[in-house]
Amino acid sequence: MAARLARLRKEGNEIIVVVSAMGDTTDDLLALASEITDNPHRRELDMLLTAGERISMALLSMALNALDCPAISFTGSQSGIITDSGHGHAKIKDVRPVRIREELNGGRVVIVAGFQGVSPEKEVTTLGRGGSDTSAVALAVAFKAAECAIYTDVDGVMTADPRIVPGARRLDRLDFDTMLEFSSRGAGVINFRAVELARAYRMPLAILNSLRSAPGTRIDGEIGMEKKGIAGVTANDRVVGIQIEGLKIETGGMSPFVGWLSGLGLDISGLHQYTDSSGQAGFSFTVNERPGHPAGLSKLEEEVKTRGGRLARDESLGAVSVVGYGVIDPLAVAARCLEVLAGVGIAPRSFLSGTLSMTFVVPRAEVARAVKTLHDTLVA
């Protein structure tokens, strides 16, 4: 990758590179934190986790300088990425890339540590898993780049995970809305917040293979709402089902509880609230597993107990989603998918309609089989 960047710079391009942590570095750092405590202090966890990207940025800068390509590395705060104060899931509020512009004017390649920024209180913050993609798009927008290229270890966006579906194919082009559904429903090729930001500012994206030259997938513009067809099938084999019962309803309804729930940093889908005949409230939803979610669930359990309720977990679930403009007629799609799954003996626990997706919660052990069956039957 360093050699490729050096060639691009020699051709006269101004280059900003946003890096993420190498390999399993973030997971290793989280494991170290878990050896100390099951509930690490959020500020200190951010201080720890940002080390992974700082290692990457410094090493890449060294590699470029060794190739006689002038380069300099910056942390998120040095790059002027301003966030809110939400440790672990901060949102970018502004980009003030003064130092980056100075170094670009001086002919250097600028390497930026992704996934991180600085709050108004001058505290280091992280953007959550996949945050380096969001950092890259934010900088591309700030510099009015022609496009933002996301380099990964696959050839682009595929119609399904090729490890599950060997016949999955690369998609040449997607619109922002369809890519947003892919990302939010389990396709790990790019973070969904990065796609949201790109869509808001109409920043074209290119998903490319960092290991070899390949056409990749271009993401831009819009596709007419009458375009039919299922673009692909995504999977998430780490879902926790949550059932809450017996909550005492306060004056003002459940707004205070739901507001508190939103601040836990959990990736929640399919939230359903109901009131039983005795006037007590209940909720059901799923949580997508990711690092840090056990602490959020522990806080949720404590709060439910405080409110006199009961919480039950089901950790044997996964989710499978069909994505594309063919989902505009949700009931017809749901009926067809349920028919296809029933044909191979899979009975979803529930299903949820999104804007351009239909998600089925299935037993975790059946996720791969459900993906392959739906893909082979429905994807054009």
User: Does the pLDDT value for residue 251 go beyond 60?
Assistant: no
* Cβ atoms of residues 361 and 317 within 8 Å: yes
* Cβ atoms of residues 155 and 170 within 8 Å: yes
User: Does the pLDDT value for residue 45 go beyond 90?
Assistant: yes
**For residues 241 and 225, what is the distance between their CA atoms, to the nearest angstrom?**
33
* Cβ atoms of residues 139 and 17 within 8 Å: no
Q: What does pLDDT average to over the chain?
A: 89
Side-chain half-sphere exposure of 48, counting CA atoms within 13 A: 18
User: Does the pLDDT value for residue 320 go beyond 90?
Assistant: yes
330-356 average pLDDT score: 91
pLDDT at 281: 79
Q: How confident is the model at residue 295 (pLDDT cuts 50, 70, 90)?
A: low
Which domains are delineated in the chain? Answer: 1-145 (3.40.1160.10), 147-223 (3.40.1160.10), 233-378 (3.30.2130.10)
pLDDT at 263: 77
User: Does the pLDDT value for residue 291 go beyond 60?
Assistant: no
Range picked from 182-186, 227-231, 333-337 for highest mean pLDDT: 333-337
pLDDT at 250: 65
Q: How confident is the model at residue 185 (pLDDT cuts 50, 70, 90)?
A: confident
Q: Is residue 349 classed as helix, strand or coil in its secondary structure?
A: coil
328-351 average pLDDT score: 91
* Cβ atoms of residues 109 and 9 within 8 Å: yes
pLDDT at 44: 96
Nearest to 87 by CA among 38, 28, 127, 135: 127
117-128 average pLDDT score: 95
Tell me the two tokens of residue 356: 């351009």
pLDDT at 222: 65
User: Does the pLDDT value for residue 64 go beyond 90?
Assistant: yes
Out of 14-23, 80-89, 134-143, 220-229, pick the least confident.
Answer: 220-229
Q: Is residue 380 classed as helix, strand or coil in its secondary structure?
A: coil
Q: How confident is the model at residue 354 (pLDDT cuts 50, 70, 90)?
A: confident
What's this model's pTM, rounded to 2 decimal places? 0.86
Torsion angle, alpha carbons of 351, 178, 145, 50, to 10: 20
Nearest to 240 by CA among 128, 364, 69: 364
pLDDT at 227: 56
pLDDT digits (tens, 9 = 90+) for 131-166: 999 999 999 999 999 999 999 888 999 999 999 999
Q: How confident is the model at residue 225 (pLDDT cuts 50, 70, 90)?
A: very low
112/306: higher pLDDT: 112
Distance of alpha carbon 3 from its chain centroid, rounded?
Answer: 29
